[in-house]
Amino acid sequence: MANVFILQDKNTKKTRKIAFLASKKLQNVERLSTFDTVKPKISIAIPVYNVAPYLRRALDSAVNQTMKDIEIICVDDGSTDNSLEILREYEQKDRRIKAFHQENHGLLNTRAKALREAHGDYILCLDSDDELILDVVEKTYAVATETGADMVGFQALEIGSWNEDDGVGFDRDPPKWRAFGPEGFQCVYRQPRIFTNFLNGKFPPNCWGVLIRREIYVIAIEKLGRVSTVLDVGVSCHEDFLQTIAMAPFIKCLVSTEIRGYLYYKRASSVMGCRTKTFENAMKATNDLIRIMDAIKIFCKSIGLSATIHTKIKPLQWTCGGVIEDVLNFPTEEFLCVFHRLDDSNLLSHDMRKRCRKIMEKKIQSERIVRHGRLYRFWTLIRTLVLPFEKILKEINRFLRKRIFYPLCKAYFYWQIRSYFRRQSFGKVSHFS
């Protein structure tokens, strides 16, 4: 309660009135002085690196949210353009924005820095070249408080193409809203189904497009920092896989909603768009994937799960296959360098290694065929003779895998996951730390 000035006056009523007005003014001053120390409900984390043409769009979508009790944490990761100046400009306009600068350490380290500076009950990650729908924070927070969920997923719209900038092109189909969960909207998930859905790719392995309880995020990042050095090596590509898999075991309740909240812009000059544009970028993406899979292997082993569980993460395995397919047009030596880097890491599953080897064989065969016309005629003759027998063998192999081998492996895998979660007590999140 604010102190009240007692003003001397002959008229008692006038004295009381002046004292009342003085107390009101002091209360307003105290309210203004303590505004910055009030804990916000939501923290919007924005990592920034050389995105000056698109940064204002992202910041405006965060500042103009219908829910005002938020803070916006922006971390500049050593940008060489005027991204930092734009952040300082917005920081002066809106005191909810807090801008930080650091040397270039990669996207994973930048997200961890934003998390350490955040104070909200929940975290919402926004890439600096994307955009939020203006009411997404208010709607998702209402769902989180009503259900007590640790994570709330919402719909995202993918716009543009990896081959063009400014979101002007389309890949194959027009953009459409992508649901978060596999079974529609307003679904509530619990363990161990949450963890297996992340492994099977039924939940998108993204840090954006979800509202996450900050306590869960902090526990996952701290655990990663204790068991691995991946936060310090500058990982910038596919880092979402690592963070979502690290958070998944600690999430007790996940809600998939029909809220439309995120605009994801594909650009040729983005980190994902430049992933395989050159040989250097392809090798960097390959090395990032290997570091991420190594960290997942160490992390899962540290919490009592199988050390080979990284081979069961389908989105990560699909991404490895995508990198191999993207570098098919590279010269043979560069292609083989990328392929052997992934193959020698012993982090690919058996099926993915087999698929990559087939891609490599086709690449080598096609170059040999182009160089030697006679070899092409001889190869087509052999293929014509062997093709019927090859089809029969494929059908037999497919039957054995589908009816015998796969069901046994799947049953063992789910038994292992269920037994792990049965051993754990979900009464407190701190049991996992």
**Which range (61-70, 369-378, 390-399) has the least confidence?**
369-378
- Please check whether residue 66 lies inside any domain of the structure: yes
Based on the domain organization, do 254 and 331 belong to the same domain?
Answer: no
Structural element, H or E, at residue 122? strand 122-125
Which of 145-154, 232-241, 334-343, 396-405 is most confident? 145-154
Based on the domain organization, do 252 and 302 belong to the same domain?
Answer: no
Give the confidence band of 379 by pLDDT, cuts at 50, 70, 90: low
Counted domains in the chain: 2
> Would you say 38 and 118 are in contact if contact means Cβ atoms under 8 Å apart?
no
Q: Which pLDDT does position 8 carry in this prediction?
A: 41
Q: Which pLDDT does position 378 carry in this prediction?
A: 62
Q: Which pLDDT does position 180 carry in this prediction?
A: 83
- Please check whether residue 398 lies inside any domain of the structure: no
Based on the domain organization, do 294 and 347 belong to the same domain?
Answer: yes
- Please check whether residue 155 lies inside any domain of the structure: yes
Based on the domain organization, do 154 and 284 belong to the same domain?
Answer: no
- Please check whether residue 53 lies inside any domain of the structure: yes
- Burial of 430 from C-beta contacts in 10 A (0-12 / 13-18 / 19+): exposed
Domain end among 253, 274, 295: 274
Q: Which pLDDT does position 86 carry in this prediction?
A: 94
User: pLDDT digits over 101-126, tens only?
Assistant: 998 888 888 888 999 999 999 999 99
Q: Which pLDDT does position 32 carry in this prediction?
A: 34
Based on the domain organization, do 290 and 163 belong to the same domain?
Answer: no
Domain end among 274, 297, 330: 274
User: pLDDT digits over 316-331, tens only?
Assistant: 777 777 777 777 777 7
Give the confidence band of 409 by pLDDT, cuts at 50, 70, 90: low
Based on the domain organization, do 251 and 284 belong to the same domain?
Answer: no
Is 0.75 surpassed by the pTM of this model? no
Based on the domain organization, do 254 and 335 belong to the same domain?
Answer: no
CATH label of the domain that carries residue 53: 3.90.550.10
CA pair distance 241, 254, nearest whole angstrom? 17
Residue 138 has pLDDT above 90, yes or no: yes
Give the confidence band of 393 by pLDDT, cuts at 50, 70, 90: low
Based on the domain organization, do 234 and 285 belong to the same domain?
Answer: no
**Which range (54-58, 61-65, 352-356, 428-432) has the least confidence?**
428-432
Based on the domain organization, do 73 and 201 belong to the same domain?
Answer: yes
**Which range (82-91, 223-232, 251-260, 349-358) has the least confidence?**
349-358
Residue 142 has pLDDT above 90, yes or no: yes
Q: Which pLDDT does position 41 carry in this prediction?
A: 93
Please state, rounded to an integer, the average pLDDT across all residues of the chain. Answer: 76
Q: Which pLDDT does position 123 carry in this prediction?
A: 95
> Would you say 115 and 207 are in contact if contact means Cβ atoms under 8 Å apart?
no
- Please check whether residue 406 lies inside any domain of the structure: no
Q: Which pLDDT does position 38 carry in this prediction?
A: 72
- Please check whether residue 432 lies inside any domain of the structure: no
Q: What is the DSSP string of 269-317?
A: TSTTTTTTTSHHHHHHHHHHHHHHHHHHHHHHHHTTS-TTGGGG-HHHH
User: pLDDT digits over 258-311, tens only?
Assistant: 899 999 888 776 666 566 667 787 788 888 888 888 888 888 888 887 767 767
CA pair distance 228, 300, nearest whole angstrom? 11
Based on the domain organization, do 171 and 147 belong to the same domain?
Answer: yes
Q: CB within 8 A of 417, min separation 6: which ones?
A: 192, 195, 196, 305
Q: Which pLDDT does position 14 carry in this prediction?
A: 45
Q: Which pLDDT does position 135 carry in this prediction?
A: 93
- Please check whether residue 22 lies inside any domain of the structure: no
Domain end among 274, 298, 332: 274
Based on the domain organization, do 204 and 150 belong to the same domain?
Answer: yes
Based on the domain organization, do 253 and 354 belong to the same domain?
Answer: no
Q: 123 lies in which domain range?
A: 42-274
Q: What percent of the chain has pLDDT over 90?
A: 26
Q: CB within 8 A of 309, min separation 6: which ones?
A: 199, 296, 297, 300
Q: Which pLDDT does position 63 carry in this prediction?
A: 95
Least Cα distance to 418 among 253, 199, 202, 191 occurs for 191
Q: What percent of the chain has pLDDT over 70?
A: 68
User: pLDDT digits over 163-186, tens only?
Assistant: 554 444 444 456 778 888 776 667
- Please check whether residue 317 lies inside any domain of the structure: yes
